[in-house]
Structure 1
């Protein structure tokens, strides 16, 4: 059997170091660009930074930036601890750092003791103090303790029965009021009143807070003059150049080194220029689409990465990379670009618009007979919004609205 060599043409694509650098710079935010440039100054003697570069960099006023975002649970608790008169503040802080996103302490105190070397007695006392902080319920080790912490702060005639009802949550959820009433030697009316009080508690006190503070460094600025809006982008690349005084040398080795470093900088400048051009183009189109939302807080209209990509002649993945961790500033508002994208329903509405309709329906419902998710589907359909029950449930949870059984007030 004879073997044959057959030559075929097969298209291949090898990504170059230059492309890798370009993609990396595209994703970077303004602060990361500044950090990279400052580090490169130490490595590349040819890089020259004009004095205006330092005027063009972001003013890192963290207090001002933090105002644009909700506090994290950790920030809220540490602030209360720092202004409190408790003695064991460091023990309290150690416990706060071990709370999960819902505000629960799922780590045993013995484990915190091993990590911090604080005496277990001090940690127990500190935990007690943490459980007195706001939001009520933080520091609990399980759901029952979380509800108990909150119920102890409720002023009610039968508070002892209220606290005992927490041990009968399963029976109460099934409507076995008579059974619980007999066990606690009281009447059904009292049990129903206690259940209504328990429903007012928050089983996840930490969930209302942002899980992290994504400090925003705005580099896209919207300005208005005589009704005309201009999109400006901070382009730090215009303040960078190659030091020509160093390039004029005769030594062959030094000349070779300078040539290599010059090429590195030229590729850097090209990547930065492309980044700012792409970001400016995308930001301009995005502002035109979501103008009413940015200026007047109107609901977002449907806008996807694919749609914007088609408008700016870029691949959706390029649009996605370009806007990550980038922020737009208009007057005193700083808006994350990624928050301006939203999918549309079959009816052409954005998820933001649907959430507003959902909130309105629930706000106007009869609290003794709240709408189920299935009923909400039908009510939205009457408003020409067709979505599935699963979508209703998802949007409701995103709006932090409990289900119908938890919204129900028993008379």
Structure 2
């Protein structure tokens, strides 16, 4: 049965402008510059640079009420008024702005682009050094296409044979594929095309010049791989009747190998991204001084030409429908430009106020750089100080960097939870992790400390922490368990 009822409720929704402002706030400097360029291209009414003669607030919607009250029925059809006077100079055809002043002998000065060769393209090019039949070449290229980004083939030979038959129309057998796979194993980087870690490490060792140490390392991986991964060193010394120094040499050879050969190729060809700090903190006469990167504070103003177009329309007596359509477009672009300028100003204020609060909250750290002086700080602490929402503070901290006298830091790294020490004082979890890292670095690697022993040591240092908390911090620091830290 259908019913109708009237219900009143209060709800809060963000306007499109507020959503856009939030997106602007979370952008780091380089992304913000790109967003600014896009807006300049999309909105010709927005211009960069100083504009001393015309103030940004000169344009007002109320000033053009005459346009809003204009009715479609009042249009006067006339061709006497040239609509071109309402168009921007940007509409001049590009061919009128070009000059053919170049000789055929002039050198064309263009910026060359670096040609990037992918991991799989490099492997296929290396196949040219082998003499292969057409069918073998097709199989080899299929196998290379099956290699993942880390350099492994994660599928069985039988699955590959079936896949080639169904998808490529290549009919072969497992023995042929196995033989072609041996050719793939000879490609660079060494270890590529392996089906598991054991095979990957063995391939790399067999690419090296044979020595007694390398032969021992190969024997260990071929015959006692499980004991090696579990670091049962005494069992290995007994099995191969070798000394501790001999085993240490073989293990050193294995540890120098790359478990992800494909990853090494990607990292060497990866474009280096430079971090651009959004803020800078300096110490001047013993006091902290905060500055916002100038690239976050562009000088923008509304186009004078576009404002003059609206004024010309207002002063004209005869108004056609075409003129109204053109002016409606102009007015929309002016509104958008004015809002964008205001949004940039709000972004600057939000960034500066938030970082200023963080700087003063962590003043002791910024004065001498001692991480032990980092105070426990959560998003709510800063949000309460600056009167902003927690989500806004999170947007500022999550992707912004600050240049300090002690290096460029990610702002979110200054936030941490609080824990009580044995004296009842709040200490930052950052300090506790640093102490935990130091304890593990100084431990005897022959007998690494388990988590319960680490908890006991930190308790003796004045930090009563449970064993499970130690395990959580150890994982956050990317430190393995005691058994995996063991060395001989």
Q: Structure 2 length normalisation: TM-score?
A: 0.60
Deviation, 1:11, is: 0.7
Q: 1:393 to 1:147 in 2, by over 3 A?
A: farther
Paired with 2:433 and 2:272, the residues of 1 have a C-alpha distance of 24
Q: What secondary structure, in the 3-state scheme, does the structure 1 residue paired with 2:419 have? A: coil
Structure 1 361/262 Cα, relative in aligned 2: closer, same or farther at 3 Å? Answer: same
Q: Which runs of 5+ in 2 are unaligned?
A: 52-115, 128-140, 168-178, 314-322
| Contact in 2 for aligned 1:46/1:261 (Cα 8 Å) | yes
SS at match of 1:12: coil
* Residue deviations 1:259-301 (CA, integer Å, cap 9, x gap): 2222212221222111111110111122223345455442143
Structure 2 Cα separation of the partners of residues 407 and 174 of structure 1:
9
Per the alignment, residue 188 of structure 2 pairs with 129
In 2, the alpha carbon distance for the partners of 1:253 and 1:138 equals 64
Secondary structure at 1:15 match in 2: coil
Matches within 5 A, 1:13-52: 13-50=12-49
Aligned to 2:312: 249
1:318 and 2:392 aligned: yes
Distance 2:360 2:200 in 1: 47
Deviations 1:197-228 (A, max 9, x none): 58856785789989996642223122343223
User: Are the counterparts in 2 of residues 377 and 389 from structure 1 also a CA contact under 8 Å?
Assistant: yes
Moved more, 309-318 or 283-292: 283-292
Separation (CA, whole Å) in 1 of partners of 2:218 and 2:182: 25
User: Deviation of residue 160 (structure 1)?
Assistant: 2.6
Match for residue 216 of structure 2 among 147, 161, 173: 161
How many residues are matched?
Answer: 362
Q: Structure 1 pair 382/29, CA: closer, same or farther in 2 (3 Å)? A: same
Shift of 1:125: 6.4
Q: Secondary structure at the match of 1:129?
A: coil
Q: Distance in 2 between matches of 1:328 and 1:159?
A: 47
* CA displacement at 1:193 relative to structure 2: 5.1
CA contact (8 A) 1:237 1:269 kept: no
**Within the alignment, does 1:357 sit opposite 2:416 as a pair?**
no
Tell whether 2:473 aligns with 1:395. Answer: yes
Say if 1:91 and 1:126, in contact at 8 Å, map to a contact too.
Answer: no
Change (3 A) 1:165 1:179: closer
- 1:407 deviates by 2.5
Unaligned runs of 5+ in 1: 53-77, 82-86, 115-119, 132-136
* Greater displacement, 389-398 / 36-45: 389-398
Q: Does 1:267 align with 2:339?
A: yes
Given candidates 403, 406, 410, the residue that maps to 2:484 is 406
TM superposition shift of 1:13: 2.2
Query: Is the contact made by 2:276 and 2:401 (CA closer than 8 Å) also made in structure 1?
Result: yes
> Matches of 2:257 and 2:416 in 1, distance apart?
29
Residues 88-99 of structure 1 correspond to what in structure 2 (within 5 A)?
none
1:145-224 matches, cutoff 5 A: 145-148=199-202, 149=204, 157=212, 159-167=214-222, 168-171=224-227, 173=230, 175=232, 181-182=238-239, 184=240, 186=241, 197=252, 215-224=274-283
Counterpart CA distance in 1 for 2:455 and 2:327 is: 72
Distance 1:349 1:162, change over 3 A: same
**Is the Cα–Cα contact under 8 Å of residues 151 and 198 in structure 1 kept in the other structure?**
no
CA RMSD of aligned residues (A): 4.7
- Contact 2:379–2:393 (Cα < 8 Å) also in 1: yes
Q: Deviations over 1:55-98 (max 9, x none)?
A: xxxxxxxxxxxxxxxxxxxxxxx99x9xxxxx989659x98xx7
The answer to whether structure 1 residue 144 and structure 2 residue 222 are counterparts is no
**Which secondary structure state, in structure 1, belongs to the residue aligned with residue 12 of structure 2?**
coil
Confirm or deny: 8 A CA contact 2:418 2:427 kept in the other structure.
Answer: yes
Q: State how far apart, in whole Å, the 2-side matches of 1:214 and 1:170 are.
A: 40
Distance in 2 separating the partners of 1:395 and 1:202:
28
Paired residues of 2:398 and 2:411 also in contact (CA < 8 A): yes
Does the aligned pair in 1 maintain the 2:185–2:193 contact within 8 Å? no
* Residues 140 and 330 (structure 1), Cα distance of their counterparts in 2 relative to 1, 3 Å cut: farther
**Deviations 1:362-396 (CA, angstroms, capped at 9, x unpaired):** 23323322211121111112212233333323433
User: Structure 1 residues 386 and 169, CA, compared in 2 at 3 Å: closer, same or farther?
Assistant: farther
CA shift digits 1:327-348 (9 cap, x unpaired): 2123583222222222333443
Residues of 2 paired with 1:144 and 1:159: CA distance?
A: 15
Using a 3 Å threshold, how does the CA distance of structure 1 residues 215 and 259 change in structure 2: closer, same or farther? same
Q: What is the rounded CA distance, in whole Å, between the counterparts of 1:407 and 1:310 in structure 2?
A: 43
Question: Which of these two proteins has the greater Rg computed from alpha carbons?
Answer: 2
Name the TM-score, length of structure 1 as normaliser. 0.70
Q: Secondary structure at the match of 1:217?
A: coil
Contact 1:88 1:126 in 2 (8 A): no
Counterpart of 1:303? 377
